[in-house]
Amino acid sequence: MADEHDDITSASSVSRTFPSAYVLAFHTLINRAATANLKPTTQLVILFIGLFSAFAMTSIFQRLTRPFTSSTMRFTPDQAAQSMSIPEGAQKATIAAGCFWGIEHQFRKDFGNKGVLDARVGYIGGDTQNPTYRAVCSGRTGHAEACQIVFDPQKISYRTLIEHFYKMHDPTTANRQGPDAGSQYRSGIFYHNDEQKSIAEDVTKKANDQWWKGSIVTEILPAGEWFDAEKYHQLYLDNNPGGYECPSHYLRKFPDLQ
């Protein structure tokens, strides 16, 4: 039976085909330049432009498409992710905001030395035990791709993390984030206690009124069972620099909530 790695590789046929078209066009350009009655300096300029264009377009396409060939993904197929440790006094925040690679990367980058102790990507909100990436992507398990953050409440508040959540993604699109469509890409906050629920509801109301013009569709639900994603998804953008990042994952310059 094919596993999730086979599924990713087969899904990447478009990303393989698209760059190869630029390589073919580049070869055609060089052949025409060689057969044309052009000065050597002109041919060198055409060569340089062709090389730059092929490289740039291939790089841009890879950044804007989620599927990758196995040669561009660094993973250990048969190793599960190690369990996340939670130091004494630390708390968890669990959020879903589209492709989990970018969520983890954004929170680590912005709060890595400001109170965020760890961050993991995984699956939550579904009704299947031990879901795989392939199963979640099918939409049949009901899970959302999510990020679970361990933080020190003495250094950073849950409220600050939730406000950041509403700044770094688009919470107005149901079952979609940027070009990524499906229920696994929905926007959600999964609270771990009544205090988190109260804060999430308060921040959501204010962000809806003051930032997002009444269009927020984020769900606020109790945190059910969490499943770590496969090892190769953890720290994905650290291990694959220049890899896919959802284009709607960026920090908006909103005024402070009142």
Catalytic pick among 99, 137, 147, 246: 99
99 labelled catalytic:
yes
Q: Which pair of structure tokens corresponds to residue 63?
A: 């950044």
The encoded tokens of residue 235 equal: 């720290």
Q: At 172, is the secondary structure helix, strand, or coil?
A: coil
Distance CA 148, CA 94 (A): 4
Give the DSSP letter string of 57-121.
HHHHHHHH-S---GGG----TT-PPPPPP--TT-EEEEEEES-HHHHHHHHHHHHTTTTEEEEEE
Which residue's entry shows tokens 């939409």? 139
Q: Is 217 exposed, middle or buried (0-12, 13-18, 19+ CB in 10 A)?
A: middle
Dihedral sign, Cα of residue 27, residue 30, residue 34, residue 36: positive
Residues marked as catalytic: 99
